[in-house]
A and B are shown apart, each in its own frame.
Chain A
Amino acid sequence: MSATLAERRGPAAQPPDPGSRRLTERVFRVRESGILAVLVVFAAITTAIQPRFLDSQNIQFVLINTTVFALLALGETMVVVSRNVDLSIGSVLGLSAYLSTRLFSQVHGIPIPAVFAVGLAIGLACGVANGLMVSLGRVPSLVVTLATLYIIRGIDILIVGGNEVVAQSLPNAFANIPQDTVLGIPDLAIVIAAIVALGAYYMRSFRSGRELYAIGSNPDAARLAGIPVGKRIFTAFAISGALAGLAGVLWAAEYQTIDSTAGTGYELLVVSAVVVGGVAIFGGSGTAVGAAIGALLLSTINSALNVLGIAPFWDQAIAGFLLLLAITLDRVISLRLAAALRLRSAHRAG
């Protein structure tokens, strides 16, 4: 059956093998390079209109703005690649931001790393709860994390009430974290880039990282292949939670006023950044680097509109339009890719 099909297609598959391979390789790279190209073109146009856009100050602003989103996007990428979704990160961020920075006024002279550790631990606890329910309960992560989105935010509101952590209670060393730079690049951006690179390396080169892709491509097949599906998914959620906790502390350092609404609605922004960055929403493909570039693109747009003097009202519409454009392009490209691969295999079989 397949042989006859291949034979019938044979004559059509004239292009020689190397040519089609080059095509597929090029298309494979498109996922990140496409989004990077959009970023460059966008920055170039904005700079042409308003040179101030490439000021070191503005670049720093964009990078700092990206750090929180890039961290969240890294965790979300691991979860989404395994064909799940974590909607609770915005609430986790809020809870961690408040509880960790409140320590500055509660425990006199607490070292800053300890505050980061507490934020990380709070996030990890939330992530572990999500992961246990999803992996052991075998219930859809969309439902579980939608529920924990409500629950964690509710706990946050119960704890915070009408209070807030104010800038005066934060030590200078902490509040200055986003301002410190090396050669004009914020320290923080370098650290976050390193974390993202580490995460990307883990997902690309470690067995357990690769297994996330296998699970996302086909959970049943992954299970039959002996991959500990539950364990891997649990790990992905735990990491996502921990990173959201860490992001909460950074968020606090950046905004310096933390009430019970911190991080509200971030979950959908981060999913947008991840999808714009080329991570398939139904798992199996995409990289953490792509997601980080997606986050960078979204905050670049944000800043560009600002610099160009366009009312911030346009932000969201453009971000939404861009997301739709990104997934549509991705779809078109993957259809082409599938067609090219079919041609190639048909050619080989013939």
Chain B
Amino acid sequence: MQAERDAAAGGPEAAGTTGHQAAPPAGPGPSRPASLGAAAGQLLRRSARWEAGLLVLVIAIAVFGGSTSSEFLTGSNFFNIGLGSGEIAIMALPMTLIIISGEIDLSVASILGMSSALLGVLWSKGWPMLAIFAVLVLLGIAAGLINGLLVTRVGLPSLAVTIGTLALFRGIALITIGANTVSNFPAVYTNMGVEPIPHTELSYSAGIFIVLAVIFGVVLHGTPFGRSIFAMGASQDAALFAGIRVKRIKTLLYVISGVTCALAGALWTFRLDTAVQNNGLGLELDVVAIALLAGVSIFGGKGSIIGVVLAVLAFAGLQNALLLTNFNQEATGIVIGGLLLASVFVPNAVSFSTRVRESLGRRRRRAVPAAIGAGRE
């Protein structure tokens, strides 16, 4: 039973290499009561440092963009940045909560696609838009329940479950709309894709992201519900024994993710004025990349919404800056990937270089006690 719970608790952690070592002190390592306060303090400092680093990165990108293109720091370009990454940013919020809780959701982009396809089909059948929105919310709830119940009640690893639903939901989008394309949505809605919110330079999707970020931030950092998400991510067993309804909360997180992604699907559809089966194909990896760049630990238990907001700015700003400098847009993945690597290597730089030297040097003479020490770190 214990082993099963461990396996269920494993979440993305187990997908990592070597268990806890890469996780900061907040992980379920051998923390003693005496050092708890110190550990918490260290965690706070460390995460604050992370966000400070991100802020520096965002500023650096702004300087880089501004110096290479006179267009970059203009209001209309700010609108473009918000428009281009709005949906991804919105989906990154529930993803953050899920990863902090120790799970992952790779089906987000497929939920977006499924929602977009359904929106298109229902609209072409003459449904009123408000009724369609209601259906999309229900669709998001259903998708989230499938993910959540399979993960929590059946006890399957979320990585495998959501790879399955990634295919399943995208498949349903395909079945729903086939090879058709639906466009000509009412101008009231498609205008949201081409015009900023009146009197601002914000796209509607960026505006929605800001509102949602505030809500998610307050919930995650300011409520017992939010604290319990951190608790179950740090140690599912401890959270369970502390009386936290781990399964219920995780299911709820998946439902929140489902609904948010379904609504992002509507935004995406209106922005492009197109409902096709491959809307948002492959976005899940972008969303995960943003969350990881934000300093959210893939092992769970660590992360912040401020980090996500900064990571979104960095991600969107960088893509836009590279676009303006005529860098092959598709190849911006090199830079995004590089940032991702930096985000895992920089915090571990010291121990990493030690290990490199160790493995280059006295590889053969490594005694057992040394191995134990290395495991603990």
Residues of A at the B interface (CB closer than 8 Å) are 83-85, 87, 133-144, 146-151, 153-155, 157-158, 161, 219-220, 223-224, 226, 229-230, 233, 260, 264-265, 268, 271-272, 275, 281-283, 311, 313-321, 323-324, 327-328, 331, 335, 338
Q: Which residues of B contact A157 (CB under 8 A)?
A: 328, 330-331, 333
Closest chain-B Cβ to A234's Cβ sits at a distance in Å of 10
Taken together as a complex, chains A and B put the C-alpha atoms of A308 and B92 apart, in Å, by 40
> Could you list 29 A-B pairs, sorted by A, with CB under 8 Å?
A83-B17, A136-B352, A140-B17, A141-B15, A141-B17, A147-B341, A148-B341, A150-B336, A151-B337, A154-B335, A158-B328, A158-B334, A161-B328, A219-B18, A220-B375, A224-B368, A224-B375, A281-B157, A282-B10, A282-B15, A313-B171, A313-B179, A317-B167, A320-B165, A320-B168, A321-B168, A323-B163, A324-B164, A324-B168
Known contacts A260-B330, A282-B157, A139 near B348 by CB under 8 Å: yes
Q: Which residues of B contact A226 (CB under 8 A)?
A: 368, 371
The SS class assigned to the B binding surface is: helix
User: Does B15 lie within 8 Å of A85, measured CB to CB?
Assistant: yes
With both beta carbons as reference points, the residue of chain B lying nearest to A298 in the complex is identified as: B167
Chain B positions 158 through 185: 1 when the CB is less than 8 Å from some CB of chain A, otherwise 0? 0111011111111110110011000000
Known contacts A140-B22, A155-B334, A317 near B172 by CB under 8 Å: yes
User: Does A323 lie within 8 Å of B160, measured CB to CB?
Assistant: yes
Q: Is B124 an interface residue (CB 8 A)?
A: no
Q: Which residues of A contact B165 (CB under 8 A)?
A: 320, 324
User: Does B171 lie within 8 Å of A150, measured CB to CB?
Assistant: no
Q: Which residues of A contact B348 (CB under 8 A)?
A: 137-139
User: Does A281 lie within 8 Å of B334, measured CB to CB?
Assistant: no
Closest chain-B Cβ to A314's Cβ sits at a distance in Å of 6
User: Does B333 lie within 8 Å of A320, measured CB to CB?
Assistant: no
Partner of B337, one of A154, A223, A264, A265: A154
Taken together as a complex, chains A and B put the C-alpha atoms of A87 and B333 apart, in Å, by 14
User: Does A323 lie within 8 Å of B167, measured CB to CB?
Assistant: yes
User: Does B341 lie within 8 Å of A219, measured CB to CB?
Assistant: no
Which parts of B336-356 form the interface with A (CB within 8 Å)? 336-338, 340-341, 343-345, 348, 351-352, 355-356
User: Does A268 lie within 8 Å of B345, measured CB to CB?
Assistant: no
User: Does A320 lie within 8 Å of B171, measured CB to CB?
Assistant: yes
Q: Which residues of B contact A268 (CB under 8 A)?
A: 106, 163, 166-167
With both beta carbons as reference points, the residue of chain A lying nearest to B7 in the complex is identified as: A282
> Which size class do B's interface residues fall under?
35 or more
User: Does A149 lie within 8 Å of B164, measured CB to CB?
Assistant: no
Closest chain-B Cβ to A339's Cβ sits at a distance in Å of 10
Taken together as a complex, chains A and B put the C-alpha atoms of A209 and B366 apart, in Å, by 22
Q: Which residues of A contact B375 (CB under 8 A)?
A: 220, 223-224
Known contacts A136-B355, A327-B156, A151 near B18 by CB under 8 Å: no
Taken together as a complex, chains A and B put the C-alpha atoms of A136 and B341 apart, in Å, by 13
Taken together as a complex, chains A and B put the C-alpha atoms of A281 and B162 apart, in Å, by 12
With both beta carbons as reference points, the residue of chain B lying nearest to A218 in the complex is identified as: B19
Q: Which 7 interchain pairs have the tightest Cβ spacing?
A: A317-B171, A320-B168, A320-B167, A140-B16, A150-B337, A154-B334, A316-B171
Chain B positions 272 through 289: 1 when the CB is less than 8 Å from some CB of chain A, otherwise 0? 000001000110010011
